[in-house]
């Protein structure tokens, strides 16, 4: 069984004069959202074998924050190809992962992540919000077998789900 966690980068600063889209950094809200979502994932015992992230600043920061919160010290790759690459290219990156790797975090951008989720699953998700996580399981032995296979949706979470009710276990892990 192989698992992919498709994670949209956290909330980033708006464009400002002289700044490229590539350089946008996380807002305070984005950092808080990562804390909340990563706390949930930690409580579920979720940790990747590898993190693959876009090399845009907001995605890199998201990847590093998730790694820190989940005490992950494994391999992290920041790839230009995950910055608005076509699905076929992202699928090629997934297919190239080691057979021994069972769990991958992919941190990127919309609309690419949405398109990827909808191509890898029978479920339809119209929009992954910032810091949203879509977890998919695949009944395959090697990542090279993923092309044309539909994964099963394990969960789809995002920060607004916790706005009105946040389990005590998550609430107690967040900085005040």
Instruction: Evaluate whether 121 touches 150 at the Cβ level (below 8 Å).
Output: yes
Q: Which of 31-35, 51-55, 171-175 has the lowest mean pLDDT?
A: 171-175
Nearest partner of 128 among 105, 149, 159, 150, judged by Cα: 159
At 170, give phi and psi (nearest 5°): -80, -45
* Tokens describing residue 149: 């296979």
At 112, give phi and psi (nearest 5°): -60, -45
**What whole-number distance in Å separates Cα of residue 41 and Cα of residue 170?**
10
Q: Work out the percent of the chain whose per-residue pLDDT is above 70.
A: 92
> How much is the pLDDT for 76?
97
Q: Give mean pLDDT, residues 142-151.
A: 94
As beta bridge partners, residue 154 has none
Tell me which residue has tokens 């845009």.
56
Distance of CA 130 to CAs 10, 33, 148, Å? Answer: 5, 9, 27
pTM, 2 dp: 0.91
pLDDT tens column, 46-88: 999 999 999 999 999 999 999 999 999 999 999 999 988 888 9
Distance of CA 155 to CAs 43, 44, 79, Å? Answer: 14, 11, 25
Q: Please report, for the chain, the start and end positions of each structural domain, with discontinuous segments joined by +.
A: 2-12+25-170
DSSP string for 107-118:
EE-TTHHHHHHH
Class of domain 2-12+25-170: alpha beta
Q: Give mean pLDDT, residues 8-23.
A: 84
Instruction: Evaluate whether 78 touches 60 at the Cβ level (below 8 Å).
Output: yes
> How much is the pLDDT for 14?
85
Q: Give mean pLDDT, residues 147-176.
A: 80
């Amino acid at each position: 069984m192989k698992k992919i966690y498709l994670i949209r980068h956290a909330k980033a600063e708006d464009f400002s004069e002289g700044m490229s889209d590539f350089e946008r950094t996380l807002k305070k809200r984005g950092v808080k959202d990562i804390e909340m979502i990563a706390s949930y994932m930690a409580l579920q015992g979720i940790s990747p074998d590898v993190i693959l992230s876009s090399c845009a600043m907001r995605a890199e920061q998201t990847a590093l924050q998730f790694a820190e919160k989940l005490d992950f010290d494994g391999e992290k790759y920041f790839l230009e190809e995950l910055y608005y690459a076509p699905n076929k290219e992202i699928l090629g990156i997934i297919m190239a992962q080691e057979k021994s790797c069972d769990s991958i975090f992919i941190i990127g951008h919309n609309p690419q992540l949405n398109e990827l989720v909808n191509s890898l699953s029978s479920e339809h998700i119209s929009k992954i919000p910032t810091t949203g996580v879509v977890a998919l399981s695949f009944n395959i032995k090697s990542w090279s077998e993923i092309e044309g296979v539909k994964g099963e949706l394990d969960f789809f979470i995002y920060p607004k789900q916790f706005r009105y009710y946040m389990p005590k276990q998550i609430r107690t892990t967040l900085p005040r």
